[in-house]
């Protein structure tokens, strides 16, 4: 990790910083449907029609309906013990833990977790295509939505599509540079190359349901089980690191 000039003058305390990155596996036990699980979305929708720039330009109505349905679906879900565990850690060590997620649901927030960085956007917000304003819509349909800043009705989902920049990736890079430990929960590494990142960390932990030879060897600690089953061990791992 690169150390800033300031750190060299004033060595940081021995307290470590932990980056916790989560993916679909964190919310799977709450019943949030994704394209990456065999839970039906693949059968109902073509991912490139509803999650890509090309699909959106072809049929914005279909995409709006898709995200309306995702929002409705999310309104009925509840955070699970793994969301609650992450919330506990972040509340206990607000400046020593970065919580980043690929998930667009709000289950971490609903578990009470502050300052969650959503790498791929959020379902519960819309973005104005005229002025760029991002505003909360909760679980409602976007059909009658209007930008509160400029009153435009040209609004869209606030989820990053294939073929689009993901501006929050800059935060991920920042966090990778700053943290000494990397905890990954519930991601296959298909979108973000977590195996590659893991090599840069002194400490690393991976929790995924299934073994994966492309990922597992790059992490120092690996738990193959559901996120809620591993939650207590992950919490202890992070607590032990920060207590050192």
Contacting positions for Zn ion (CB under 5 A): 128, 130-131, 133, 147, 149-150, 152
Structure tokens belonging to residue 145: 């939505």
Alpha-carbon dihedral of residues 232, 185, 38, 126, nearest 10 degrees?
110
Nearer to Zn ion, 155 or 185 (CB): 155
Kindly state the smallest distance separating residue 153's Cβ from Zn ion, in Å.
10
CA–CA distances in Å: residue 185 to residues 20, 62, 127: 8, 31, 28
Nearer to Zn ion, 75 or 143 (CB): 143
Kindly state the smallest distance separating residue 135's Cβ from Zn ion, in Å.
8
Let me know if 157 is a catalytic residue: no
Kindly state the smallest distance separating residue 148's Cβ from Zn ion, in Å.
8
Identify the helix (H) or strand (E) that includes residue 86: helix 81-92
The conformational region for residue 89 under phi > 0 = left, psi -120 to 50 = alpha, else beta, is alpha
Nearer to Zn ion, 130 or 221 (CB): 130
Asked if residue 100 lies in contact with residue 190, where contact means CB atoms within 8 angstroms, the answer is no
Kindly state the smallest distance separating residue 74's Cβ from Zn ion, in Å.
24
Task: Choose the catalytic residue: 120, 125, 157, 203.
Answer: 120
Nearer to Zn ion, 53 or 131 (CB): 131
Angle at 97 between CA 91 and CA 103, to 5 degrees: 90
How many beta carbons lie within 10 A of that of residue 37, not counting itself? 15
User: Which residues participate in catalysis according to the annotation?
Assistant: 120
């Amino acid at each position: 990790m690169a150390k800033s000039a300031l750190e060299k003058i004033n060595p940081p305390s021995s307290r470590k910083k932990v980056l916790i990155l989560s993916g679909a596996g964190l919310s799977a036990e709450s019943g949030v449907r994704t394209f990456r699980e065999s839970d039906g979305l693949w059968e109902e929708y073509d991912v490139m029609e509803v999650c890509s720039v090309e699909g959106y330009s072809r049929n914005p109505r279909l995409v709006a309906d898709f995200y309306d349905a995702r929002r409705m679906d999310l309104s009925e879900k509840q955070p699970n013990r793994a969301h609650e565990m992450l919330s506990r850690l972040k509340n206990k060590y607000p400046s020593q833990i970065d919580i980043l997620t690929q998930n667009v649901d709000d289950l971490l927030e609903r578990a009470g977790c502050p300052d969650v960085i959503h790498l791929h956007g959020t379902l519960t917000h819309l973005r104005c295509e005229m002025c760029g304003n991002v505003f909360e819509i909760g679980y409602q349909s976007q059909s009658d939505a209007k930008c509160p800043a400029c009153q435009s009705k040209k609004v869209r989902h606030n989820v990053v599509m294939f073929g689009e920049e993901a501006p929050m990736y800059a935060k991920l890079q920042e966090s990778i540079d700053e943290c000494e430990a990397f905890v990954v929960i519930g991601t296959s590494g298909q979108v973000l190359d977590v195996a590659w990142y893991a090599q840069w960390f002194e400490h690393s932990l991976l929790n995924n349901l299934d073994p994966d030879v492309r990922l597992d060897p790059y992490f120092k600690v690996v738990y193959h089980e559901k996120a809620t089953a591993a939650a207590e061990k992950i919490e202890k791992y992070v607590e032990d690191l920060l207590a050192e």
